[in-house]
Structure 1
Amino acid sequence: MPLSRFAADTFGVVTICLVAILILLGLLCILYSFYFRSRIRNQAFVQLSYFSGPWIIRITFILFSIWWGLGELIRLTVLRRALHLKWQETVCKYYIVSNLGFAEPCLFLTLVFLLRAPLQKMENGIMSEKWNGKTAGFILLYCLPVLVLQLFVILIGPQLDKNKNSALPHYFTSTAAASSMTRDHDIALCTYPLLSTVFLGLFAIILTSYLFWLGRQILKLVINKGLQKRVYTLIFSVSGFLPLRVLFLGLSVLSKPEHFMFEALAFLAFLALVCCSSVCICMLVYYPVADCLALGNLQDIEARRRYTDDRNDTMSLIANQSHLEDNVEENAGSSPGRYSDASTKRGSISFRTFGKDGTSTGTFVELSLFSPSRDATPPGSPPLLGWPMRSPRQDIGL
């Protein structure tokens, strides 16, 4: 079925909208990460600094996603119609090297390092000041083999196409196909070389196998069911969407670029990686930052609650002391003989007890203020009634 102009433009517009949503989500998460970083520095949440350790690599993951999304835009014929046919073919070659050779491998390598970070030691892991720099270097180093293979396809592929004795069909190395879709000028349709897809598939197999092993190691450390669901979602989304993308790209060589089936398979491959990138951004950037901010808010609430409790305890202690002084003066005025100088020198006072609601219980209690001496308590006299004084912290149960 030949591809109509309307169908091609529809796929292009939907692709532009999805890339715009991905970029907007990524920029919002970047701003969210900077806000979380500022909260830690301003409020001195030292306990949460562990969770902000990989913040540079998280932002790098988002930047790779945005890079890949912009690369998908330049592949569209809607945005390349104004260029000359030769420049359109050059853009298609750049797309293969940029997305399949650099952006996608770096994207998933960054994901692997972010998942591997909690399994490392504290001094060598994300708490180390050099962890972000070392991780970025390793990502670029491990991406280099895939990039070299894609460059081989782009540079050597045209030479193989010109060689009539080559055993490889043209779709193994072809990056663009010329098609006269309008009477005004020719348009080069970007294609996916089968060799590039094979190299990406080998990378996907190695990465998926390692992610399954890494997920098992992480699940042994996770005791929260919510975090377990996130790890399962992350692992199965990557191990599901990445092979699907490779499968759709491989099937695209079975149809011509002018046909509807080719554009549909290319769009499905794009949609698989858009969904995978969005899930990874939410699981690796947004939710960890949101959880840490919620934990910081709980610490603020707990600190305010303790301050309020301490203030209430202080006010209650002052009120009890004022009640005590008022009753001592009242009882001393009504019973001057009982509260004489001799009784005061003895080191004890008597006061009326009050309940929690402030009402009098009608009971007089004699409280010893000092340790009784031999002069104050003659031998053979009955012991003083009452209870030893306790500190206010004992009264509130601390």
Structure 2
Amino acid sequence: MHPITFFTNIIGVVTIVLISIVSILGLICLCHSLNFQLLIKRRRRNYYQANDEQLSYFNGPWLTRITLILVALWWGVGEVLRLTFVNGEGRFISDQTWQANVCKFYIVSNLGFAEPGLFLLLAFLLSAALHNQEVGALNRKWNQRTICAVFMLCSPSLIWEACVVFIGPHIASNDGQTSKVAKYWYSASSVHDGDVACTYPLLSSIFLGTFYTVLTLYVIFVGGQILSLVINKGLRRRIYMLIFATGILLPRAMFLGFSVLPWPGEIVHESLVFVSFLVLMIAAMLGIVILVYFPVAETFEVRNQEHIELQTSHSIAL
């Protein structure tokens, strides 16, 4: 086996394993969120309402958390499909035309929607802590407004990426031939050793870097406000980790920008893309664990504590 093929296969396997871990974590959070939401609805229909407000506080943004998990799963599917490991002769996608179309779909879907949507949802979940009950996550319409806002904010990036990969090559072509420089700016794929390797257009990386810069500044601003209100060391540590998670996203855009320099499919190119994927995965994992997994786990702690208190009161009554 050729060393480059062996290297890309290893990267492909590791990427699939890491995405599987993120997906399993997401599915666990999804099941717990749905289960707890059903529990709260049953409690409201019954006589049991002692600590219902406290449980609702933890579970308020449940629909936003579920949407976040679904977007993360969608992102994972796109990351798997763009791998050279699953594309090629005798593999999942063998036709070169289909491979090129998958690369275009990946740029539009992941860079245009999944990535911005994922971290916008995380940012909104973080900022919900600053709102009061009337306008914050306990408000029944907060989830719907937040999800609609995320879709609206993602629409410019979605349109931009679609224009880059579908319209850009036609504008840059001269007599049906695209120049080498233009390929850096618009191309979503390149043929290497008979297989199609997905690439990242420079215009996409620049737009993504701009988005991550604005997002990081916003999270730092919101995180600073929350830190001024929070005394608990554990919560402060979580805020610092969220700021770190968004701060490392800008280097991801830089790695993607540098990936246009080496030849697509070579070891240097695959390494840059893999490192940028690792950065994104770490940021996404931190966000999901802090803003989805921990709150879901804490809701069950509150529930268990309430159950213990109820048993104690029954024992005293008896």
- Same fold flag (TM > 0.5): yes
Residue 221 of structure 1 deviates from its aligned partner by 2.4
Residue 290 of structure 1 deviates from its aligned partner by 1.3
Q: SS of 1:277's equivalent?
A: helix
Aligned partner letter, 1:118: A
Does structure 1 residue 205 correspond to structure 2 residue 200?
A: no
Give the corresponding residue for 1:46: 52
Residue 161 of structure 1 deviates from its aligned partner by 3.6
Q: Which runs of 5+ in 2 are unaligned?
A: 44-48
Question: Which deviations, in whole Å up to 9, do the C-alpha atoms of 1:261-286 show, x marking residues without a partner?
Answer: 00011011111111111111111111
Quick one: structure 1 residues 167 and 269, their matched pair in 2 at CA, closer, same or farther if it must change by over 3 Å?
A: closer
Higher relative contact order (CA 8 A, sep 6+): 2
Give the corresponding residue for 1:153: 164
- Give the structure with the larger helix fraction: 2
Residue 306 of structure 1 deviates from its aligned partner by 3.3
Give the corresponding residue for 1:69: 76
Does structure 1 residue 233 correspond to structure 2 residue 246?
A: no
Q: SS of 1:254's equivalent?
A: coil
TM-score when normalising by structure 1: 0.73
Aligned partner letter, 2:73: I
Q: SS of 1:257's equivalent?
A: coil
User: How far apart, CA to CA, are the structure 1 residues paired with 2:265 and 2:149?
Assistant: 40
CA RMSD of aligned residues (A): 1.9
Aligned partner letter, 1:202: T
Instruction: Give runs of aligned pairs for residues 297-316 of structure 1, distance below 5 A.
Output: 297-311=304-318
User: How far apart, CA to CA, are the structure 2 residues paired with 1:38 and 1:17?
Assistant: 32
User: How far apart, CA to CA, are the structure 2 residues paired with 1:300 and 1:13?
Assistant: 44
Residue 170 of structure 1 deviates from its aligned partner by 2.2
Question: Which deviations, in whole Å up to 9, do the C-alpha atoms of 1:109-165 show, x marking residues without a partner?
Answer: 101111111212311222222111111110000111111111121122212441379
Paired residues of 1:22 and 1:278 also in contact (CA < 8 A): yes
Paired residues of 1:3 and 1:259 also in contact (CA < 8 A): no
Q: Please say which structure displays the higher CA radius of gyration.
A: 1
Q: SS of 1:263's equivalent?
A: helix
Greater shift after overlay, 94-103 or 159-168? Answer: 159-168
User: How far apart, CA to CA, are the structure 2 residues paired with 1:84 and 1:302?
Assistant: 63
User: How far apart, CA to CA, are the structure 2 residues paired with 1:137 and 1:168?
Assistant: 38
Greater shift after overlay, 168-177 or 109-118? Answer: 168-177
Paired residues of 2:61 and 2:143 also in contact (CA < 8 A): yes
Give the corresponding residue for 1:331: none
The count of aligned residue pairs is 304
Residue 6 of structure 1 deviates from its aligned partner by 0.9
User: How far apart, CA to CA, are the structure 2 residues paired with 1:239 and 1:261?
Assistant: 24
Residue 68 of structure 1 deviates from its aligned partner by 0.7
Q: Which runs of 5+ in 1 are unaligned?
A: 181-185, 312-398
User: How far apart, CA to CA, are the structure 2 residues paired with 1:272 and 1:160?
Assistant: 33
Does structure 1 residue 27 correspond to structure 2 residue 33?
A: no
Instruction: Give runs of aligned pairs for residues 372-383 of structure 1, distance below 5 A.
Output: none
Give the corresponding residue for 2:101: 90
User: How far apart, CA to CA, are the structure 1 residues paired with 2:129 and 2:78?
Assistant: 32
Paired residues of 2:75 and 2:110 also in contact (CA < 8 A): yes
Give the corresponding residue for 2:16: 16
User: How far apart, CA to CA, are the structure 2 residues paired with 1:42 and 1:151?
Assistant: 45
User: How far apart, CA to CA, are the structure 2 residues paired with 1:95 and 1:298?
Assistant: 45
Aligned partner letter, 1:268: V
Select 2:203's aligned residue among 190, 195, 200: 195
Aligned-pair identity (%):
43
